[in-house]
């Protein structure tokens, strides 16, 4: 092979490796993308021994039902209160801190059979994990770690009521 051919081969190889490195190492994992999602504010409450979680994003508000003890856990987390004995959400937060893990966000990603489906996005070092989770449980953890909560835009529009 001529010297010129080696150069072409070398340049092509370098370009292929560069494209691969850019595509694999410099792009954010899809779990981190919030395109098509709206950040929502969370308010929890208890009414008639039933838990209610209200998620408000933009001009839309989604009201979801949950167990009263989960709504209570969300409220306590928002207020920074810990019972005499820590809840499972307090223990989870402490465990994550102990292992160097960080809650990046909660995403409400789907609705199946009138049940909201969520993902708890967690980081440990350079590893990111997306965990299947009930949105109310994930929110109870997120409020303890100051992590944002996002809802897919179409879910917010379809299941929410316009409030402004």
pLDDT tens-digit readout, 68-110: 999 999 999 999 998 889 999 999 999 999 999 999 999 999 9
Write out residues in the chain with pLDDT < 70, as ranges.
Answer: 1-29
pLDDT at 29: 62
Q: What is the Cα–Cα distance from 120 to 135, expressed in whole angstroms? A: 8
What is the three-class DSSP state of 144? helix
pLDDT at 19: 54
Structure letter (DSSP) for residue 85 = S
Question: Which residue blocks in 26-164 are alpha helix, DSSP H?
Answer: 68-79, 88-98, 135-145, 153-159
pLDDT at 30: 80
pLDDT at 24: 54
Contact 29, 136 (CB under 8 A): no
Q: What is the pTM of this model?
A: 0.81
Contact 112, 152 (CB under 8 A): no
pLDDT at 8: 56
């Amino acid at each position: 092979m001529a010297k010129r051919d080696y150069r072409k081969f070398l340049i092509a190889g370098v370009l292929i490796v560069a494209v691969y490195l850019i595509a694999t190492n410099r792009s954010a994992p899809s779990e981190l993308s919030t395109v098509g999602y709206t950040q929502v504010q969370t308010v929890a409450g208890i009414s008639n021994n039933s838990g209610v979680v209200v998620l408000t994003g933009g001009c839309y508000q989604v009201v979801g039902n949950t167990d009263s003890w989960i709504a209570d856990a969300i409220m306590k987390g928002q207020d920074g209160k810990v019972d005499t004995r820590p809840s499972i959400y307090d223990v989870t937060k402490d465990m994550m801190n102990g292992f160097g893990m960080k809650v990046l966000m909660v995403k409400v990603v789907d609705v199946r059979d009138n049940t909201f489906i969520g993902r708890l996005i967690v980081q440990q070092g350079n590893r990111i994990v997306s965990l299947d989770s009930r949105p109310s449980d994930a929110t109870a953890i997120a409020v303890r770690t100051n992590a944002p909560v996002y809802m897919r835009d179409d879910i917010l529009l379809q299941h929410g009521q316009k409030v402004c």
